[in-house]
A and B are shown apart, each in its own frame.
Chain A
Amino acid sequence: MTAVALESERLERTTLAVPGAHCAGCMSKIERGLSAVPGVAEARVNLSARMVSVSHEEGLDRRKLVHALADLGFEAQTRVNGSARPDSAARQLLAPLAVAGFAAMNVMLLSVSVWSGAEGSTRDLFHWLSALIGVPAIAYAGQPFFRSALGALRKGHTNMDVPISLGVLIASGLSLYETAVHGRHAWFDGALMLLTFLLAGRALDAMMRDRARTGVDALISQAPQGATVVSEDGTLAWQATDALRPGMILRVVAGERLAADGEVVSGASQFDQSLLTGESRPVAAQVGDGVLAGTLNLTGPVDVRVSHTGYDTTLAEIVRLMEASTQSRSRYVRLADRASRLYAPAVHTLAALSVGGWLIGGASVYQALVIGVAVLIITCPCALGLAVPVAQVVSSGALMRAGIMVKDGSALERIALVDRALFDKTGTLTMSRPQPDPAVLSAIDPVAVSVALALASHSGHPLSRALAASLSADGHRAAELDAVEERAGEGIFARWLGLEVALRRPEAASGIAVSLFVEGKPTWLIPYAYHLRPDYAEALAELRTLGIEASILSGDSVPAVAEVARATGLSAQAMTSPADKQALIGRLQAAGRRVLMVGDGLNDGPALAAADASMAPGSASDVGLQSADLVFTQDSLLAIPRAVRAARATTRVVKQNFALAIGYNVLAVPLAMAGFVTPLVAALAMSTSSLIVIANSLRLARIAR
């Protein structure tokens, strides 16, 4: 053991995101495959986070690991800094929850013997034992609430944690006093049970957010962006984006995204600017033309002289616009906080009134205080604390099973209120990649199709990938090819049974297309188009019945938008810049509308951030995924009405839960004020109302169907 430790060279740790890992087989395949890479000491997959942590010799090229994973059939991205991932919020609550649960159970056991008639020294002993367990447990497990209450009070307002903390602290103080004077009633059980229920609610809430976050994280590429730099002596080196300087020459091959703004100095190609402008038609660029960071080089390799980097690029401009536009979100006050604004003052007034009333009525100070505490404990928002998180956890769990990830609970509350929906076109109403025309594919002779599939499967070009995917889905088999060669900017060339075959860029075509060439046969032209997402008509009809008016807001050209507008029957606005989209949302909000933005591109980022609620498809750009509240991973547009319906049902159940919790208080408070509430009654009332609220929330489990 020590010998190994002594002679082992210094090891480095790299974390890679592997979104495709989902089963035991994947785990062992990845771990074994990576361990076989020279220089790798150990690889361990974390299936919950969809990441693999690799310890390897210092200086091992990380891209080698990515390639090894690609050979195993897993797409992977290195994380810029694996350790910087914030700890999950749920894990911090697990320890207090365990302590509160343990203490509550033991104290409850002791309390049951007191309630069933333990007297004299036995009761004193049990009370002292309860105090011994309860006081440290309350001091430890209550901290999340005390901290939050203190923070709110310092800022001069109140939240749900203020009445909770007050109730728990006063109850424990009074119980200690009761124990010391050999009194009949101690409230440790009630205080601990309250903490357990509330911590369970918080932990559930945090778990929901963790789960959605890891889901979205796995979709976001964390790859350190960069480019291949051509130095003066002609050597090529890969450099990270922040190391790029104006004046450097970048070599950008087909299928790569530009890392900086610049000017083409050699070569010619077509660029897909849809990420920036929403415009789907490729833009041609030749020597002397300017090209923008974030655009995708589609056809040929080009050399680009960098003009702007980092914060000066058009890309960074959009990101800045987005950061400045999250106000409507922060102005939104969550339901629970709105409830507690009314609730806390009412409870505290009631408690003060009952103390005052009993004093005037001639009770001793001690008696009056006991009754005041009983009022505080019985009104402690136990069910109220569960009312919101349990309902939201249940419905977001149901939505997640239906392929919709909810990033946080307030998103569900906000999306329930929308009455206006704006759709981006490319990638949102339509699929995110152009698809080959199925009518043409079915017309091609089946032998040629198998050649096309074989050719397409040898290329990483987006058009080839789309072709390969749609042909494999139709059940075609690939033909056997020899001497496959991909010539950048031209296409893929190979020999098949001695014949020249190729899948290449057509000489002249309007729109996106590839041509399939088989020696001795006529050349086939396969046109591509952005198809509308499945179920768009039903989805839009459902939105109308939900009372949501929809329209299209696109950065694309007028004819392209008009075509989709005709097909969907929506009104549309074309050629809008990111700032235009944001301004339109501002105008709608000023007119009192609640806006839902559905978009995917970087150009939608500012609009997604400015809208009252936002959704993005799983194929969206990183910016889209990060700024959207909800992410739907399936192709169907039905996810949108489904999410709205589920959110509205959730808000309805939350309101019912509030009504149930307050109804219970209306029954219990008069009892407490009259002095009839003992610790036994409090414990029964508290657990019954919590159970009712949980049972009511569980009805949401089937909401997303």
Chain B
Amino acid sequence: MTSLLFLIPVALGLGLLGLAGFFWALRSGQFEDPDGAASRILIDDETD
């Protein structure tokens, strides 16, 4: 029972962390241009 009291908050906390991460990504515009983000990795930046 004590393990439950410890494990449940941990599990929920980790889940919430993921949810918060998703919201942060949504707010900071990371879903604005999914195609562009996928292609941008291929650009070679030799300058700066």
Contacts and interface: CB of A to CB of B under 8 A. Distances in A.
Interface centre among B8, B16, B39, B42, by most A CB within 10 Å? B39
Contact of B31 (A28, A94, A105, A133): A94
A91 B26 contact: yes
Nearest to B41: A24
Contacts of A91: 26, 31
B22 A98 contact: yes
Interface string A12-30: 0000000000011101100
Interface of A is mostly: helix
B18 A102 contact: yes
Interface string B17-33: 01100110010000111
Contact of A48 (B19, B35, B41): B35
Contact of A23 (B11, B33, B39): B39
Interface residues of B, number: 24
Nearest to A137: B19
B19 to A, nearest CB: 5
B48 to A, nearest CB: 11
A122 B2 CA distance: 11
Interface string A604-623: 00000000000000000000
Given A91-B31, A98-B22, A106 B11 contact: yes
Contact of A27 (B4, B11, B15, B36): B36
B43 A28 contact: yes
Question: Contact residue range for chain A?
Answer: 20 to 34
Given A105-B15, A106-B11, A122 B33 contact: no
A70 B44 CA distance: 23
B44 to A, nearest CB: 8
Contacts of A105: 15
B26 A102 contact: no
A45 B11 contact: no
A688 interface: no
A23 B35 CA distance: 9
Interface of B: 1, 4, 8, 11-12, 15-16, 18-19, 22-23, 26, 31-36, 39-44
Interface of A: 23-25, 27-28, 45-49, 91, 94-95, 98-99, 102, 105-106, 109, 122, 125, 129, 133
Q: 7 tightest CB-CB pairs across the interface, nearest first? A: A47-B36, A24-B42, A24-B39, A47-B35, A48-B35, A28-B43, A46-B33
